[in-house]
Structure 1
C-alpha cells in the first residue's frame, strides 16, 4: 500500500510560530521532485514541541497543500493511547491517507502493552496505520512477533517504518509478516532494506534533495541495483551530515543555508553548533547545493 519515497517533512518556524508560507514551499518542492508522499508531525517535524492545536493545523495544511498530489501519512503517535486516538481521528477527518504511530515513549510498555495500544488505536479509525519502530527515541522495541500479531489482528495495520538499524530484525518482520510494507526509517539503509523486500523510505534527506531520494527509490523498485548503489554512495556523505547532531537540527540548518526556511527550533532543541555549521556548509558546497 505504501511504496515509494516519503519525506519526513520539517515544521518550519518563524518567531516561534509555524511558518506556513515556508511549509507550502517545502511541500511544493516535494511535489515537483516526484516524491510519493510526506509525513507531517514526525520526529523531523518536531511534533514533541507542537501544541495540540498546532499539531492539528500542521496536518490539515499538509493535506491542503498536497492537493491530492502526495500521500499524507500523519504522525499521530503518543505515549498516551487516548491522545494517539484523538490525533489519529483528526488525521482521518482532514483526509490523511494514513497515520504513523511511534512506539509509546518514556513509559516503556511491555510487548503486551504495545499490542493493546496499537490495537486500540487501529480499531478507532478506518485509515491505514504505519507502525514506527525506533528504540533509540522511544526506549522500547516493537518485536517482530508483536508486529506480526498486529498485522494479523488489525487489517488496517499495513506497514512498519523500521529505524532499529537491525537488518536481522527487519528480515524477521519480512518472514513473519510478509503482507506488511517494510519501510526504511534510515536514509543510509534504504538500499539494503529494499533489497530484502522493503517498499521505500521515510527520508530526512529528501527535505533538501527530494529528487535524489525519489530517483534512488525508483531505481530499487525497478531492481536496478547498480543505479541505486551509484546514487546511494554518491550522496552518503550528505546523508551522514544530516545526523551530525540530533535530527532535525542538521537538516534545518541545511535548509536555512539553502534559503528554504529558517533553522529556528524550539527548546530543548537548539541550532547547530558553529563547528558543525562550518562542516555542513562545506558538504553542501561540495554537492553544489549552496
Structure 2
C-alpha cells in the first residue's frame, strides 16, 4: 500500500496584503504558525490566496517564497489553476522548478468546457510537467463540474495523485472510493475541499482536507484530523462541534474576506483584500467573533 502524498490538514493559505502589496513579513508569520500547529501541508495561491485577483508575478513570487520558507517541513501544494491550459502548464512548470511538492489544478473557470475538454485540459498539464497533480473541483466558483467518470479516467495518469472535492456531496466521495483504483488505499487521495463536511467525507474514505478554517484555528483542525485518524469518533465529533460555527462563519461573506478579518483580530495581518473582493461586511463580524471564541481561536 502506498501512502498518499497529500493527506491530513492542508491549509489553503490566505495572501496577506498591506498598502496594495503582498505583505511578506505577515505571510512568513502565518506560515510559521501553520507549521507550529502541526498541519500536514499548505496551498499557496489557491482560491483562498486570491490567485485570480493577484498578478501573475505576485502569484509566482508567493509560491516561490512559500517553498523557500517551508523548507521541506510541510508539503507545498502550489495553486496553479488557470482559465487557459497553456497558463496552467506554465505555472505548474514554475512550481516544479522552485521545488513545490505538487500542483493544485482547478477546473478552468469562465470557459465552461465540456467533460471532454476538461479531461484533455488536465491530461495536457499532467503530460507537460513531472509533478504530482491534484485535481480541484469547485463548480460553485468555476461554472463547470468535473464528473466522477472523468475523475476515474484521469486517476489513471501517473502524475495525477488525487482530487480536492469542494462540492460537499457525500455521494461523490463514496462513488470514487468504490470505483477508482487506489482510492481505497489512499494512493489516489480523496481530499475534502469543504471544511464543514470533512468529518463525513473522512468516513466515506477521504484522507484529508484543504482547509480555509485552519488559517484561523489550525490546532483545532489538526486535533479533529488526529481524532479521525485514530478512529476516536467521540473526540472527532466533539472537535467538530467546536468548529462548525467557525466553518460556517468564514463563508458568511465572500471568502477569504471573513478569514482575513479573523486573522486581523488575532493581530496576524490586515483585513486588506484585492478588488473585486471586498473586506468582510460589518454585519457578519459579530458572528465571526463568536465563532472564533467557540473554536478557541480568539
Per the alignment, residue 219 of structure 2 pairs with: 211
Task: State the Cα distance separating 1:289 from its structure 2 match.
Answer: 3.4
Given the superposition, is the C-alpha separation of residues 286 and 174 from structure 1 closer, same or farther in structure 2, using an over 3 Å criterion? closer
* The one of 194, 198, 209 aligned to 1:186: 194
- Confirm whether residue 149 of structure 1 aligns to residue 153 of structure 2: yes
Task: Compute the displacement of 1:227 (Å).
Answer: 1.2
- Judge conservation of contact 2:242–2:294 (CA < 8 Å) in 1: no
Contact 1:256 1:263 in 2 (8 A): yes
Q: Distance in 2 between matches of 1:166 and 1:285?
A: 29
Task: Indicate the RMSD between aligned Cα atoms, in angstroms.
Answer: 1.1
Equivalent in the alignment of 1:22: 26
Partners of 2:254 and 2:280 within 8 A in 1: no
Contact residue 173 and residue 205 of structure 2 kept, 8 A = no
CA–CA distance in structure 2, aligned partners of residues 98 and 198 of structure 1: 19
TM-score, with structure 1 as normaliser: 0.97
TM-score (norm 2): 0.95
SS of 1:48's equivalent? coil
- Post-superposition shift, 1:287? 4.6
Aligned equivalents of 1:145 and 1:175: distance in 2? Answer: 12
Please list, as runs of the form range in 1=range in 2, the aligned pairs for 1:111-260 lying within 5 A after superposition.
111-152=115-156, 154-179=157-182, 180-260=188-268
**Residue range with higher mean Cα deviation, 234-243 or 10-19:** 234-243
Name stretches of at least 5 consecutive residues in structure 1 with no aligned partner. Answer: none
Indicate conservation of the 8 Å contact 1:144/1:176, yes or no: no
8 Å contact from structure 2 (residues 242, 295) kept in 1: no
| SS at 2:111 equivalent | coil
SS in 2 for 1:141: coil
> Matched residue of 2:199: which SS?
helix
Q: State the partner residue of 2:64.
A: 60
Partners of 1:145 and 1:176 within 8 A in 2: no
Of the three residues 262, 273, 292, the one matched with 1:284 is 292
Over 3 Å counting, the alpha-carbon distance change for 1:176 and 1:36 in structure 2 is: same
- Mapped to 2, the partners of 1:289 and 1:165 lie a distance apart of 25
- Does the residue aligned with 1:41 lie in a helix, a strand or coil? coil
Say which is worse superposed, 16-25 or 236-245, in terms of deviation.
236-245
Query: Could you give the per-residue CA deviations for residues 59-96 of structure 1, whole angstroms, max 9, x where no partner exists?
Result: 00000111111100000001100000000000000000
Residue-by-residue CA offset, 1:189-240 (whole Å, 9 max, x unaligned): 1111111110010000110111111111121122221111110012111111
8 Å CA contact 2:217–2:295 kept in 1: the answer is: no
- Check whether the contact 2:16–2:27 (CA below 8 A) recurs between aligned residues: yes
Look up the match of 1:107. Answer: 111
Given candidates 71, 88, 99, the residue that maps to 1:84 is 88
Answer whether contact 2:261 2:279 (CA < 8 A) is retained.
yes
Which residue is 1:275 aligned to?
283
Cα pair distance change 1:73/1:288, threshold 3 Å = closer
